[in-house]
Amino acid sequence: MNQDGLRLDERLERLKLFGLASPAILLILVILVVPVGWLFYVSFVGADGSYSLENYERMWKRRSYARIFRTTFEVSFLTTGLCILIGYPLAYFIAGLPGRLANLCLITVLLPFWTSLLVRTYAWLVLLQKRGLVNEWAISLGLWDEPIKIVHNMTGNLIGMVHIMLPFLILPVYGAMRAINQDYMKAAANLGASPRRAFWTVFFPLTLPGLFAGSLMVFILCLGFFVTPAVLGGGKVIMVSMKIVSNIELFVNWGAASALGVVLLVLTVAILWVASRFLNLENMTAGGGH
Amino acid sequence: MLRWLKSPATETQVTHGQRLWLYAISVLIMTLLVIPTLIVVPMSFSHSQYLEFPPETWSTRWYGHYFGSSEWMQATTTSFKAAVLTMLVATPTGVLAAYGLHTSRIRFVRVTFVLMITPMMVPLVLVAIGAFYAYVQMGILYTITGLVLAHTVLALPLVVIVTGAALKGYDMSQEQAARSLGAPRWKAFLTVTLPQIRFAVVTSALLAFLTSFDEVVVAMFISGGDNPTLTRNMFNALRDQIDPTIASISTIMILVTTLMMVLAQLFGQQKKPSK
């Protein structure tokens, strides 16, 4: 009797504690979940107001949509790939430094991480423009003869996006590298592995979870990216999120915009779901939140 | 120097000399990471119409332009108001949620945690148009209230993750000790737990501030009219031409961000409670 009472008390207590999360839950439901649910519904309503799949059919039939999806994936893959190529060696370099020096170098990763995305995009716009510093310096160094167009196109967009995404890759990779016990490398060398072999068979596999988490984060952020391609792409790089915005701002077509949004969301969730089968996603958020 | 080049750099006896290529590349990447943002600062002090580096004549002309424009000033006020209010709403809400999720071990906790971090996973554009639609219905479009609510939702995952991580590293039995000595739960939390996780709480608060202050896409849709944000106006200006005023605003934004981070570091230094 007494035991049952205690158990009931404990359950009530736990429910009460859970209730502490209710303001946050309510906010997310009202501001995010319900409206997105409504968009989901709108995507299945046709121009005449009845249930229809026309918003989705349009994506299949119109070639302009196919191009937009192709561009989105192209940009996301290229950005992720470049981030790995550039970020991994830097993370490796910093992880090998003694504590104080490593922290100093980490600041160069964190500083852009904290700086407003818009400010960084603007900075690249200024640097890459026709009369900008990059052109000016390249010409004075003799790299090319006259100003070339490196912004308002795919090149400019990629430069900006890689710069913005790099910290998201470097931080989790760096975390994974720091966690590696150096004795493993010593043991590998001791057992006769060449430095190269020790790196590829011992060190590199141990950094894979971090690399995977970082790449995933970068890829997913790229899929939904808007600001940088809108400014640095100069209308030549049209990604899904930009089409969603123009569907609303220019054509006031909620059905079309919602359908695109739903596809984008489903893609994102599907990728995260597949990834979560190989990886503990809480690690990823911890890496990104540093 | 020569000796350093030949000394081993790794446990596998690779020497520094053999790794010079890595050092060179890394220094180059680090420069490229930092320079683009920082170069805006001297450029903003150029007198010229065209952004030059190094500026031929220095002046604060573009700052004058910024501070003299009622439009920019209004946008700046909106941004600061929204950021401070977001911080004040998101921090307690998120800390409560993190604490609730940490202590109540009921079945829904995992699902709720996923719900808490959904704002990080849903593409921003979708959040933006969803909120836009909802706000038209609720009649809070183009209001600070609406802006703060949306930005709070975006900041909540960060607060929950950062505070939640701190709670995981905190020994709950300390709070239990306080309670067994007669302190009610809220008092035990405020006087025992909170002081020990305060670095995480302060960090979350600053992150919430920055989330709102730097946010562009959602603000593009739901701020405007009398309450456009700084980022919204900047974004619109960027689409038209390269206005040097933006360089001065960027410099100010870099300053604000840096200040926030220095504050976070200062709070982080005093790890042990002074009592």
Structure tokens at B45: 């002090």
Q: pLDDT band at residue B268, thresholds of 50, 70 and 90?
A: low
pLDDT computed for residue B260 by the predictor: 86
216-275 in chain A: CB under 8 A from chain B: 220, 223-224, 226-227, 230-231, 241, 244-245, 248, 254, 257-258, 261, 264-265, 268-269, 272
Q: Name which of A273, A286, A263, A233 is nearest A79 in CA terms.
A: A233
Which of the residues A33, A39, A116 would you substitute to probe the B interface, choosing the one with the greatest number of B C-beta atoms within 10 Å? A116
Q: Would you call B9 and A36 a contact, using CB atoms and an 8 Å cutoff?
A: no
The answer to whether the Cβ–Cβ distance between A241 and B10 falls below 8 Å is no
Task: Name which residue leads in pLDDT, B158 or B271.
Answer: B158
* Region of poorest pLDDT, from B74-83, B219-228, B242-251, B265-274: B265-274
Q: Which residues of B touch A23 (CB under 8 A)?
A: 93, 96-97
Q: Is A32 on the interface with B (CB under 8 A)?
A: yes
Contacts of A84 by beta carbon, 8 Å cutoff, 6+ apart: A169, A211, A215
Q: Which residue of B has its CA nearest to A199?
A: B12
For chain A, the structural domain boundaries read 1-42, 61-288
Of the candidates A38, A86, A195, the beta carbon closest to that of B13 is on A195
pLDDT for B30 equals 95
DSSP readout, A104-153? HHHHHHHHHHHS-HHHHHHHHHHHHSTTSHHHHHHHHTTS-SS----SSS
Q: Which of B206, B227, B94 is nearest to B153 (CA)?
A: B94
Using CA atoms, how far apart are residues A138 and B186, in angstroms rounded to an integer? 63
**Amino acid letter at A62?**
R
Question: Residue B239 has what pLDDT?
Answer: 77
Q: Would the pLDDT of B273 be above 50?
A: no
Distance CA B7, CA A111 (A): 32
Residue B5, pLDDT > 80, answer yes
Q: Output DSSP code: residue A82.
A: H
User: Is some CB atom of chain A closer than 8 A to the CB atom of B244?
Assistant: no
Report the complex ipTM.
0.88
Residue B139 DSSP symbol? T
Report how far residue B107's alpha carbon sits from residue B115's, in angstroms, rounded to the nearest whole number. Answer: 14
Residue A129 phi/psi, 5-degree rounding, is -60, 170
d(CA B136, CA A252): 14
Q: Which B residues in the span 168-207 are in contact with A, Cβ-Cβ below 8 Å? A: none
What digits encode the pLDDT tens for the residues A11-59? 888 888 888 999 999 999 999 999 999 999 999 998 888 888 888 988 8
* Angstrom distances, CA of residue B257 to CA of A224, A273, B39, B63, B249: 24, 34, 16, 18, 12
A131 token code pair: 């009369």
CB B60 within 8 A of CB B67: no
DSSP A234-248: TTSS--HHHHHHHHH
Contact across the interface for A268 and B123, Cβ inside 8 Å? yes
- Measured at the alpha carbon of residue A271, what is the angle toward residues A270 and A274, in degrees to the nearest 5? 85
User: What digits encode the pLDDT tens for the residues A153-184?
Assistant: 999 999 999 999 999 999 999 999 999 988 88
Is pLDDT at A140 greater than 80 in this prediction? yes
**Structural domains of chain B, with CATH:** 2-62 (no CATH), 70-269 (1.10.3720.10)
Nearest beta carbon to residue A195 from set B12, B157, B221: B12
pLDDT at residue A108 is higher than 80:
yes
CB interface of A with B, residues 104-163, below 8 Å: 105, 108-112, 114-127, 129, 131-133, 163
pLDDT digit string, tens, across residues A183-195: 888 888 888 888 8
Name the percent of chain A in helix, strand, coil, to the closest 5.
80, 0, 20
If pLDDT is split at 50, 70 and 90, which confidence band does B275 have?
very low
Interchain pair B108, A18: CB under 8 A? yes
CA A25 to CA A86: how far, in whole Å?
39
Nearest CA in chain B to A184: B11
Second CATH level (architecture) for the domain A61-288: Orthogonal Bundle (1.10)
Is the separation of the CB atoms in B94 and A245 below 8 Å? Answer: no
Q: CA of B231: how far to CAs of A98, A234, B82, B106, B244, in Å?
A: 39, 19, 12, 41, 15
Q: Which amino acid is at A182?
A: Q
* Nearest chain B residue (CA) to A202: B12
Cβ <8 Å between A35 and B105 = no
pLDDT digits (tens, 9 = 90+) for A214-271: 999 999 999 999 999 999 998 889 999 999 999 998 888 899 999 999 999 999 999 9
**Size (chain B), residues:** 275
Burial of A142 (0-12, 13-18, 19+ CB in 10 A): exposed
Taking CA atoms, B223 is separated from A16, A217, A281, B105, B270, in Å, by 36, 28, 33, 39, 39
Burial zone of B169 (CB within 10 Å; 0-12 exposed, 13-18 middle, 19+ buried): exposed
Please give the model's pTM, rounded to 2 decimal places. 0.89
Portion 44-83 of A in contact with B at CB < 8 A:
none
